[in-house]
Amino acid sequence: MDNSSEVRAFLTSRRAKVTPEQAGIPAYGSRRVAGLRRGEVAALAGVSVEYYTRLERGNLSGASESVLDAVARALRLDETETAHLHHLARAAGPQPARARARRDKTPEIRPAIRRVLDSMTGVPAFLRNHRFDILAANPLGMALYAPMFAAGATLPVNSMRFNFLNPHAQAFYPQWAQVSHSAVAALRIAAAQNPDDQQLMNLIGELSMRSEPFRTMWAAQDVYVHRHGTKLLRHPAIGELDLAFEALELPGNDGLTILTYSAEPGTPSGDGLELLATWAATQKAKTAPARD
């Protein structure tokens, strides 16, 4: 993924979203471009038109944090978009070879992390990396995402491939478009933070080639951080589950996150999780080898 192209597409798309009225600029005459002109962004950011043009053409190398923050304010970027702009600027600079190698490596899962997952007996839990690979899951997590682990799939599995390439994904996610858009926006942040991860770039290339919805969502240049929220799932055996999720980032440089799903006890979804645990135990008993 070319950093200059990413910078150019991101800044151009954000500039097109800001109207002169939003920026407090009088709009005189007809405008051939959507949103603000480059000169207007430059004036709002306090830089020359030539300098801002250089930035928007993809050259963020050497841009100071204060300039980036000024551009972010001029473009009315939110906190996530501003952080993304800074990530793109850092990616434009030199990267240590050791850091590049670490980002492109699948980390070893510490035994303590596996014990934490297994101890979460009442909630589905997963361990995910920045490529959206599910590296580990507790039994309830495997049961919740049964369609993703169907047909003998073994860990790791990639949830982005499931979203866009598996024919069962849209039935599993009743709000598929919303879920997928948020996932693509989070993947874009991961790409900016890990520009030298070849496996990640291969995943983006594969999805771009094989999925038109992914191409459309990727071209929107939106960014999103998965921290917490709710997700509606339609489990093939349990039915609809409206679950709260928490994304717990682990310290270190491996980009690992523990995802948990829960529901209020006594609610239909809380009862559904209890039923899911029973269903999971039944499925395990069916596949267990018979004793003599």
Least confident range of 91-100, 180-189, 195-204, 222-231: 91-100
Q: What is the mean pLDDT of residues 97-125?
A: 76
Least confident range of 46-55, 117-126, 183-192, 247-256: 247-256
pLDDT-derived band at 185 (thresholds 50, 70, 90) equals: very high
pLDDT at 70 over 80: yes
State the pLDDT at residue 97: 46
Same domain, 42 and 173: no
Peptide bond between residue 195 and the one before it cis (omega within 30 degrees of 0): no
| pLDDT: which is higher, 242 or 2 | 242
Q: What is the CATH number of the domain that holds 221?
A: 3.30.450.180
Same domain, 85 and 53: yes
Q: How many CB atoms lie within 10 A of CB 49?
A: 14
User: Residue 182 corresponds to which amino acid?
Assistant: S
101: in domain: no
Give the up-direction half-sphere exposure of residue 212: CA atoms within 13 A in the CB hemisphere. 0
Q: What is the mean pLDDT of residues 192-197?
A: 89
pLDDT at 101 over 50: no
Q: What is the mean pLDDT of residues 77-89?
A: 94
How many domains in the chain?
2
Least confident range of 30-39, 62-71, 203-212: 30-39
Q: How far is CA 110 from CA 115, 121, 130, 132, in A?
A: 9, 19, 17, 18
State the pLDDT at residue 39: 93
45: in domain: yes
Dist CA 111 CA 178 (whole Å):
35
Same domain, 226 and 257: yes
pLDDT 10s digits, 123-156: 999 999 999 999 999 999 999 999 998 866 778 8
Mean pLDDT of the chain: 89
pLDDT at 292 over 80: no
CB 240 within 8 A of CB 234: yes
pLDDT at 163 over 50: yes
Which one of 94, 126, 161 terminates a domain?
94
State the pLDDT at residue 152: 65
Same domain, 139 and 274: yes
Tokens matching residue 273: 């999780």
Q: What is the mean pLDDT of residues 23-49?
A: 86
CB 160 within 8 A of CB 207: yes
Same domain, 41 and 72: yes
State the pLDDT at residue 290: 53
The residue range of the domain holding 156 is 111-287
State the pLDDT at residue 153: 72
State the pLDDT at residue 169: 95
Supply the pTM of this predicted model.
0.87
Same domain, 90 and 115: no
Dist CA 33 CA 16 (whole Å):
8
Which one of 38, 64, 94 terminates a domain?
94
Same domain, 117 and 254: yes
Q: What is the mean pLDDT of residues 102-117?
A: 78
User: Residue 171 corresponds to which amino acid?
Assistant: A
Q: What is the mean pLDDT of residues 239-264?
A: 91
pLDDT-derived band at 3 (thresholds 50, 70, 90) equals: confident
State the pLDDT at residue 95: 58
